[in-house]
Amino acid sequence: MATWARWGTVSVAVEKQARPRSERRFGTDRRWVFSLVFILVVELLFFNFAVSSFWGGGWGSSVSMLGDGENFLFTSMIALGVMFVIFAGDIDLSVGAMSGFAGVMMAEFHLGGMNIWVAVVLAVAIAALIGLIQGLIITYFKLESLLVTLAGWFILQSAALAWEGAVPPYGFPKHFDSLLGTGTVAGTVPNQLVIFAILALLATLIVHRTRFGRQLVLVGHNRDAAGYAGVRVSVTRIRAFVLSATFAGIAGMCIAATYSTADDNLGPTLLLPAITAVVLGGVDIFGGAGLVPGVIVASFILGWLTPGLLQDGVSDTWASIAIGVLLLGSLTVKGITDRRQGVSMLDRLRARSATATPGAPPPAPDAT
């Protein structure tokens, strides 16, 4: 009884200390988003003066930098999905292969005689189901999400390759290619930008305006504390994997519509850029911190950086180096900021691998 009383007193003291730290972290996250907005503005202004075709032709023009949105917005959709999993302190390495598999699945359903839109809905639903299965395996068997989703990556990639055969399926209806791919609204705004805006708004509301979003961040910050607070930790993590797979499935539809073909190789290459956008956006790779608007802005920074540099005459190698330097610099700045707040990367690693100590209360029942 005395032990539990002592732990109760300690928990109250820790909560009082953690509250101002949480407020400081939220302020830091907002400043990070403002910094990203500033970087994006500088980037746009630079390419406006350095690349003559930057504004030429508008959104719908393939020679315009704005038209390049069709080449990276589906990566941004994948980033929004994997963001949920990272918020929860997990990782999903299968999202790239998931998008490719979903595209192949939709194409084969349609070529088999199914209505294209029924095939789209069914493919996205099955992708969500696969995310559910991965989440159940991770939480029920208490396995590392990195290993389970890596296995999922190999399975989905191989399944898509076997299903599509020697020739990737192609030849979709023009209205499908236009609505989810290369079409525009009033000849100006790409349809994909509208889809991304809807998904971005939905993601922002889920994370920052719902009970599930608060639970998601709490689970990523401290699973034991979330369990003691009554959060169903396993259910929350599973839902994150379902959302990640669903967003990847939607991105797969947009990829297939953009290229008018479903190729198993189109999705997996988008994994690292998507995770890079999440990390650059300020979401803590260990979970429990960050803001969705940061991920949105970061996806545009990365999306326009490579094509902008290429059109400015920079080689592909140096463009890739620029992205790496930008990511490394952002991680360094965030690491310094966290240390000033009294939270180091070593502390986060210890928290993730912490074991029970003598005299401590037992782990929360659902803290898996």
Q: Where are the domains of the chain?
A: 28-352
Strand-pair category, 189-190 with 184-185: antiparallel
The pLDDT score that the predictor gives to residue 22 is: 53
The pLDDT score that the predictor gives to residue 347 is: 60
What whole-number distance in Å separates Cα of residue 156 and Cα of residue 102?
Answer: 9
Distance between terminal CA atoms of the chain? 26
Strand-pair partners of 170? 261
Separate counts of helices (H) and strands (E) for the chain? 14, 2
Q: Measured between alpha carbons, how far is residue 118 from residues 113, 157, 201, 263 in Å?
A: 11, 23, 25, 20
What whole-number distance in Å separates Cα of residue 69 and Cα of residue 46?
Answer: 17
Q: Is 76 helix (H, G, I), strand (E, B) or coil?
A: helix
Q: Measured between alpha carbons, how far is residue 113 from residues 108, 110, 119 in Å?
A: 9, 5, 10
What whole-number distance in Å separates Cα of residue 351 and Cα of residue 121?
Answer: 40
Cα-Cα-Cα-Cα dihedral of 97, 102, 107, 113, to 10°? 150
What whole-number distance in Å separates Cα of residue 91 and Cα of residue 134?
Answer: 11
The pLDDT score that the predictor gives to residue 327 is: 80
Q: Give domain 28-352's CATH architecture.
A: Orthogonal Bundle (1.10)
Strand-pair partners of 184? 190
Average pLDDT per consecutive 10 residues, the chain (368 residues; last block may be shorter): 42 44 66 91 84 58 61 92 96 95 95 94 97 96 96 95 88 92 82 94 96 94 91 96 97 94 87 92 89 95 84 79 82 74 59 50 61
What whole-number distance in Å separates Cα of residue 160 and Cα of residue 100?
Answer: 7
DSSP 190: E
The pLDDT score that the predictor gives to residue 352 is: 56
What letter represents residue 101's amino acid?
F
CA R_g for the chain: 22
Q: Is 276 helix (H, G, I), strand (E, B) or coil?
A: helix
Of 127, 118, 258, give the one whose Cα is nearest residue 184: 258
What pTM was computed for the model? 0.86
What whole-number distance in Å separates Cα of residue 266 and Cα of residue 168?
Answer: 11
The pLDDT score that the predictor gives to residue 66 is: 60
